[in-house]
Amino acid sequence: MVLTPPDGSTRLIPIIGDPIAQVKSPGGITAALHARGLNAYVMPAHVSPADVYRGLAGLSLLRNVDAILATVPHKFAAFRHATTATPRAMLLGAANVLRRNQDGTWHADMLDGVAFVTALRQAGCDPAGKRTLLVGAGGAGAAIALALLETDVSVLQIHDADPTRRDALLDRLRGQGTGRRLTGSDDPSDSDIVINATPAGMRADDPLPVKADWLTPDMAVGDVITVPEITPLLATARRIGCITSTGVAMFTAGRDLIVDFLLGT
Amino acid sequence: MVLTPPDGSTRLIPIIGDPIAQVKSPGGITAALHARGLNAYVMPAHVSPADVYRGLAGLSLLRNVDAILATVPHKFAAFRHATTATPRAMLLGAANVLRRNQDGTWHADMLDGVAFVTALRQAGCDPAGKRTLLVGAGGAGAAIALALLETDVSVLQIHDADPTRRDALLDRLRGQGTGRRLTGSDDPSDSDIVINATPAGMRADDPLPVKADWLTPDMAVGDVITVPEITPLLATARRIGCITSTGVAMFTAGRDLIVDFLLGT
């Protein structure tokens, strides 16, 4: 779509990250906001980890900044910069979006997990009651794990190359949802849904994050990677006949969720 | 022109001001930069006087911010935030544009006066050797006064409702150019060029800044006001047959000068 050019009344929505060149929100979310009739632009704001708190403080002083988006590695800093937050953001200690409270302070939410589940549903797989294997207990994995428990999966297995990180996440999820929480492995055999939330698959020579040969056609397979859109894991899953959900679909679902959050709808 | 949508590689050029809704640079300079092949957007950054130094410090931490524009009342703060400056910015203690030095600090320039003189020339009046009457010794007036002296006017008369402000400007201009510097009045009779650098004319019931009945067809008349484009002073001058130069023409000339400065050309 053709964007309305910016003018003096344009609201500014910075997306902070380091690096920043890879982000798609400036084009995608700006277009979505314009489609809803808002004179607002999402703009990249490249800030290093050493400068992120002072950068957030400076951006917060701008009276036409109504929202701030955060990407890697600033989702934790964004959460800590906020005064109020949704329960899921508080549990995760991370935020990918901030909007103003009436007093000018920030309200945080973390929509990555919901975005993944939304994309999975749109692909034709409802996780309620399903056994799931999640590989990767970092920021994206934690958000997805919480969203899966909130949709009442029956079993959530978590696997990570770092068992300490895996156990810390399992510990943090105690008391969330009714599903059983287990340590997992790279064996997908006992699962209905298999999810990669690690960087494995961004490069062609990355090892597969799970034993893809053991996938069966009744399983659903999801990935968080956006480039390439079809990772080797997803390519294998499609060959077998699995339902698949891509990182691009997750990004698109997340974009709509961010717009809803920004508009308070 | 149709702008290329922003992406993760877009360079961000904030324009700071208070208020900010009236600025035209976000559309105009963004289009001019895109026409030169730059992926950059000028965006309004509304910051109050109490917050301006912390706001500038925060914006300076953003690694994709290569330039900052300043409008009223932040041209003095913008200058003081810079580490290096052009001689005219130093004399005026004000800047309407900052660009990065190689070490990340800011280099300031103040282009408002040159923009006025450029517009006046484009209207068909070369101020060299002319007798000029400038009404208004504020920020815009000071910039124009210096630019007139740099183009070798023969006489520069300055009038201001506040004689202290007028004398302070005359004092500051000592040693600049070869023209005679005099205190002026609202009587344009002895001048070839008459310039309004006050807000008088923004509202329909404002008094005229000079005795417009005493204008003659051989004079040129300029104004810094952009809304309305044709102020009562300019309307009278056109009726008489004077060459006229508008605030909009000054803004357009300034836009091109800003783009040249940002590109280092």
Chain B residues with CB under 8 Å of A3 CB are 3, 5
* Residues of the domain holding B152: 113-250
Together in a domain, A117 and A31: no
Q: CA A142, A113, A106: angle at the middle one, nearest 5? A: 90
| B1 assigned to some structural domain | no
| B42-81 residues touching A, CB cutoff 8 A | 42-48, 51, 54-59, 61-65
Together in a domain, B103 and B138: no
> Where a domain ends, among A95, A110, A125?
A110
Together in a domain, B96 and B22: yes
> Where a domain ends, among A69, A89, A110?
A110
DSSP B71: -
pLDDT tens digits, B144-182 = 999 999 999 999 999 999 999 999 999 999 989 888 999
Number of separate domains in chain A: 2
| A31 assigned to some structural domain | yes
A3 vs B5: CB contact, 8 Å cut-off?
Answer: yes
Residues of A known to be catalytic = 75
In the predicted model, what is the mean pLDDT of chain B? 96
pLDDT band at B1 (very low <50, low <70, confident <90, very high): low
Amino acid identity of residue B75, one-letter, is K
Name beta bridge partners: A12. A41, A65
What's the average model confidence in pLDDT over B209-234? Answer: 96
pLDDT tens digits for chain A (265 residues)?
678 999 999 999 999 999 999 899 999 999 999 999 999 999 999 999 999 999 999 999 999 999 999 999 999 999 999 999 999 999 999 999 999 999 999 999 999 999 999 999 999 999 999 999 999 999 999 999 999 999 999 999 999 999 999 999 999 999 898 889 899 999 999 999 999 999 999 998 999 999 999 999 999 999 999 999 999 999 999 999 999 999 999 999 999 999 999 998 7
Q: For every residue of chain A, which 3-state class applies, written as one string?
A: CCCCCCCCCCEEEEEEECCCCCCCHHHHHHHHHHHCCCCEEEEEEECCHHHHHHHHHHHHCCCCECEEEECCCCHHHHHHHCCEECHHHHHHCCCCEEEECCCCCEEEECCHHHHHHHHHHHCCCCCCCCEEEEECCCHHHHHHHHHHHHCCCCEEEEECCCHHHHHHHHHHCCCCCCCEEEECCCCCCCCCEEEECCCCCCCCCCCCCCCHHHCCCCCEEEECCCCCCCCHHHHHHHHHCCEEECHHHHHHHHHHHHHHHHHCC
Q: What is the pLDDT of residue A259?
A: 95
Give the tokens for residue A3. 């964007």
Catalytic-residue membership of B75:
yes
Reported residue count of chain B is 265
Q: What is the pLDDT of residue A204?
A: 85
Cα B143 from Cα B137, distance rounded (Å): 9
Q: What is the pLDDT of residue B83?
A: 98
Together in a domain, A79 and A165: no
| A256 assigned to some structural domain | no
| Closest by CA position to A115, among listed A260, A264, A240, A249 | A249
ipTM: 0.89
A22, A51, A61 ranked by CB distance to B8: nearest = A22
Give the tokens for residue B148. 């007139």
Together in a domain, A123 and A189: yes
| B264 assigned to some structural domain | no
Q: CA A163, A169, A170: angle at the middle one, nearest 5? A: 85
SS3 B139: helix
Together in a domain, A118 and A238: yes
The overall longest dimension of chain B from CA atoms, in Å, is 57
DSSP B133: E
Cα A80 from Cα B209, distance rounded (Å): 54
| B261 assigned to some structural domain | no
Query: Is the minimum CB–CB distance between B21 and chain A shorter than 8 Å?
Result: yes
Peptide bond into B127 cis (omega under 30): no
Cα B103 from Cα A159, distance rounded (Å): 45
Cα A52 from Cα A16, distance rounded (Å): 8
| A34 assigned to some structural domain | yes
Element (H, E) at B52: helix B52-60
Chain B residues with CB under 8 Å of A9 CB are 21, 44
> Where a domain ends, among A110, A142, A167?
A110
Cα B127 from Cα B253, distance rounded (Å): 16
Element (H, E) at B219: none
CATH number at residue B128: 3.40.50.720
pLDDT tens digits, B173-204 = 998 988 899 999 999 999 999 999 999 999 98
Chain A residues with CB under 8 Å of B45 CB are 12, 62, 64-65
